[in-house]
Amino acid sequence: MKYAPPGQPGSVVTVAPRYENFIGGKWLAPTQGRYRADLSPATARPITEVAHSTPEDIELALDAAHAAKDSWGATSATERAEVLNAIADAIEANKEMLAVAESWENGKPVRETLNADLPLVIDHFRYFAAAARAEEGSSTEIDKDLVAYHFREPLGVVGLIVPFNFPLLMAAWKLAPALAAGNCTILKPASPTPWSVLKLAEVIEDIVPPGVINIVTGPGAEIGKALAANPRLAKISFTGETVTGRLIMQYAAQNIIPSTVELGGKSPNIFFSDVMAEDDDFLDKAIEGLVLFAFNKGEVCTSPSRALVQEDIYEAFMARCLERIAAIKQGDPLDTDTQLGPQVSAQQIEKIASYVEIGRNEGAEVLIGGERTDVGGDFTDGYFFQPTVLKGDNKMRVFQEEIFGPVLAVTTFTDDADALAIANDTLYGLGAGVWTRDGTRAYTMGRAIKAGRVWTNCYHQYPAGAAFGGYKISGIGRENHRMMLDHYSQTKNLLVSYDPKPLGLF
Amino acid sequence: MSDTPQLPRITATPAAIEAIGRLLADRGGPVMFVQSGGCCAGSTPMCFPAGEFLVGAGDVLLGEIDGCPFYIDAALDRAWHQDRFVLDVAAGPAEGFSLPAGDDLHFIVLSPAGEIPALRD
């Protein structure tokens, strides 16, 4: 089926002419009264206007968060879990609306937002509601009369800066653990995708106490530093690229606060010969596993953007994969049959095209795609790029830099040692995939690859409860796991003596 | 890899030089560029007020444009294996915390054919 674009007759999404910041439970116009257009990448036409905020608006959000932090921090785990579960229920009740809004603003196909993004968002809040309830402090009997009690306490007010590729899920990955741990939050959505998060705020505005979630939209150059370097923050969490990641850590160092940074990857997806030992469901799954480079238009930090195929199956395996890639349906992101939508912005599609050119100049062979494409009709101006496969050498730029588009770089390997050497020959270490019918090989490779997440005989699954984060320059910290409660908490130790006698030293 | 290359490895198109001139005039002070990598806006050069980004021992100075230094992380430089970089501007807003190159303009680096040496095994 096809959903009507937001704001059009028959659409499940209503669109206001403009959206203000969500601060202290209210919608507040930006202090300087400036707005900017928010475009749909499917048509390159405006959806609505959002606040073009300035540092004064960040200060207002900090005021609201600080006003709320003592009461929110004092709520019981039971009360916080109730709020998180209510958020999940409200999102679930509005799942279709939010899936369509996010698809239209980001360009990701609605089949993905309906079946992946939104279900994961909902489950993430429920997971952290459960995690908060199940948390226990500890008491340690140091000796007969001396006991160490450990309690978790909220940090206070935390800053959350999220990327454009999963506007709702990345917000949920940061909001859910921060709230579960008793913190108040200030969320800065990415400049290309602020609106879908504001639609989410509309859904939960009566559920969350005022000041607990604050959302400020605007350009990073004007409000990014105002938030990240602010001495009133107790933690900053960021997902994006490496230079901003270093800036975030620099600001955190200056304020002596913790930071979590997730900075991308160039993930190897390794296919051993034995995947072709049978022509069965597993082989079919492995082929789909390679084609997942096109998931979310390749705009994924963990995109399996380097395929390493054992040389003796290369021709036969790639023939099957290329057939599947050629069948990818590209077009209206709101059509549930569409598998590949437009890239998020003009900048991104130009960058992708320039990388394909760099690949060609370095001698990579274009096996399929390689060009911008016009899907016609209402979408003729949309930012569509053909699913593309480049064959080459791992030293090439297209194997080393994150293209953030539906572009796969493929190469071959001879044996396990060669596969491992190529897999680890990268600056990054976020994700990896290993496909084999041999359990020992799967385990050995998985442990030896320097990456935080090794999908084994699967890819692109992000269930809450599986820790996610990077090795090497892919970042510091983890998300998507109850260990996040630690990352968003202080540790309080009470060391209590039950011995009535003095030490006897003085 | 030297911190003081004989020839600057970065040059700028007239559009980029004009954009830098506007930034210097508007801000009343120099800016700096740092090449980014990784997720989202990775591959984009970020432009900051001079001194905003703490340059480390692992960063390489590629040269200066009108007194504005351009840095790249040494490991990223090796991965890019590109002799010369050309700073340019393109349509669309700046990303990350980068200053824009003008109204709805951002900085980019070009990788012209011939500037990336052939791969050696």
- What tens digit of pLDDT does each residue of A121-167 get? 999 999 999 999 999 999 999 999 999 999 999 999 999 999 999 99
**A243 to B37: CB separation less than 8 angstroms, yes or no:** yes
Return d(Cα A382, Cα A108) in angstroms, integer. 12
Compute the average pLDDT of residues A417-430. 98
Per the structure block, which two tokens stand in for A476? Answer: 């510091």
Inter-chain contact B79–A401, Cβ cutoff 8 Å?
yes
Judge whether residue B4 has pLDDT over 80. Answer: no
- In angstroms, the CA A271 to CA A276 distance is 9
Give the pLDDT score at B3: 56
Residue B118 has pLDDT above 90, yes or no: no
Mutation to test the A interface, candidates B97, B110, B120, most A Cβ within 10 Å: B97
Are A91 and A98 in contact, with CB atoms under 8 Å apart?
A: yes
Give me the active site residues of A, please: 262, 301
ipTM score for this prediction: 0.94
Residue A61 to residue A312: CA distance in whole angstroms:
59
- High-pLDDT (> 70) share of chain A, %: 100
User: What are the strands of the beta sheet with A453-456, ordered from one edge?
Assistant: A365-368, A388-391, A407-413, A306-310, A268-271, A431-435, A453-456
Cα–Cα distance list, B18 to A160, A475, B89, B107 (Å): 35, 35, 10, 12
Cα–Cα distances in Å, from A64 out to A26, A185, A364?
10, 10, 53
For residue B80, list chain A residues with Cβ-Cβ distance below 8 A: 397, 400-401
The verdict on a CB contact (< 8 Å) between B38 and A190 is no
For chain A, the distance separating the N- and C-terminal CA atoms, rounded to the nearest angstrom, is: 82
Within an 8 Å CB–CB cutoff, is residue B32 touching chain A? no
DSSP secondary structure string, A208-228?
SPTTSEEE--S-IIIIIHHHH
Q: What is the pLDDT of residue A224?
A: 96
pLDDT at B117: 64
Residue-level pLDDT at A118: 98
How far is the C-alpha of A108 from the C-alpha of B87, rounded, in Å? Answer: 31
pLDDT band at B41 (very low <50, low <70, confident <90, very high): confident
pLDDT digits (tens, 9 = 90+) for A353-392: 999 999 999 999 999 999 999 999 999 999 999 999 999 9
Q: Which of A445, A408, A242, B84 is nearest to A399 (CA)?
A: A408
Whether residues B42 and A397 touch (CB distance < 8 A) is answered with no
All residues of chain B having their beta carbon less than 8 Å from the beta carbon of residue A240 are 38-41, 96
Using an 8 Å Cβ cutoff, are A435 and A457 in contact? yes
Q: Which of A241, A305, A472 to mutate to test the interface with B (most CBs of B within 10 A)?
A: A241
> Cα distance from B45 to chain A (closest Cα, Å)?
9
**pLDDT above 50 (res A44):** yes
Decide if pLDDT at B7 tops 80: no
Closest of A135, A125, A230, A202 to residue A171, by C-alpha: A125
Cβ of B111 within 8 Å of Cβ of A397? The answer is yes
Residue B121 pLDDT > 50: no
**A286-300, A418-432, A490-504, B79-93 — which is least confidently predicted?**
B79-93
Distance from the B63 Cα atom to the nearest Cα atom in chain A, whole angstroms: 18
pLDDT tens per residue across span A54-73: 999 999 999 999 999 999 99
CB atoms within 10 A of CB A37: 12
B116 Cβ under 8 Å from any chain A Cβ = yes
Chain B residues closer than 8 Å to A163 by CB: 39-40
Model confidence pLDDT, tens digit, residues A191-207: 999 999 999 999 999 99
At residue A173, the pLDDT reads 98
Asked if B39 and A239 come within 8 Å (Cβ–Cβ), the reply is yes
Nearest CA in chain B to A240: B39
Helix axes A439-448, A416-424, angle to 10 degrees: 30
CB < 8 Å from A in window 71-110 of B? 73, 75-76, 79-82, 90-100, 106, 108, 110
Q: Is the pLDDT of residue B6 over 90?
A: no
Select the residue from B27, B33, B39 to test the A interface by mutation, using most A Cβ atoms within 10 A: B39
Place of tokens 């072709």: A276
Closest CA–CA distance from residue A253 to any residue of chain B (Å) = 11
Angstrom CA distances, A439 to A134, A296, A436, A452, B69, stand at: 34, 30, 7, 20, 51
Considering CB atoms only, which of B54, B82, B97 is closest to A225?
A: B97
Q: Which of A485, A499, A503 is nearest to A235 (CA)?
A: A485
Q: By the 8 A CB rule, do A428 and A450 touch? A: no
Are A234 and A252 contacting, i.e. CB atoms less than 8 angstroms apart?
Answer: no
- pLDDT at residue A494 above 50? yes
Q: What is the mean pLDDT of residues A208-214?
A: 98
Q: Which of B27, B47, B59, B41 is nearest to B88 (CA)?
A: B47
Q: Give, as one character, the DSSP assignment of residue A330.
A: B
Residue of chain B whose alpha carbon sits nearest to that of A475: B38
Note the pLDDT tens digit of each residue in A167-193. 999 999 999 999 999 999 999 999 999
Q: Does residue A419 surpass a pLDDT of 80?
A: yes
Average pLDDT taken over every residue of chain A: 97
Q: Do A242 and B73 touch (CB under 8 A)?
A: yes
The pLDDT assigned to B120 comes to 42
Which residue in the set B37, B91, B100 is minimally distant from A401, CB to CB?
A: B37
State in Å, rounded, how far the first CA of chain B is from the last one: 20
The amino acid present at A460, given as its one-letter code, is H
Q: Which H or E element spans position A341?
A: none
pLDDT at A464 over 60: yes
The partner residue sitting opposite B37, judged by closest CB among A241, A347, A393, is A241
- Closest-approach residue (CA) in chain A for B56: A246
pLDDT of residue A403: 95
Give tens-digit pLDDT for A437-450: 999 999 999 999 99
Count CB neighbours of A284 within 10 A.
12
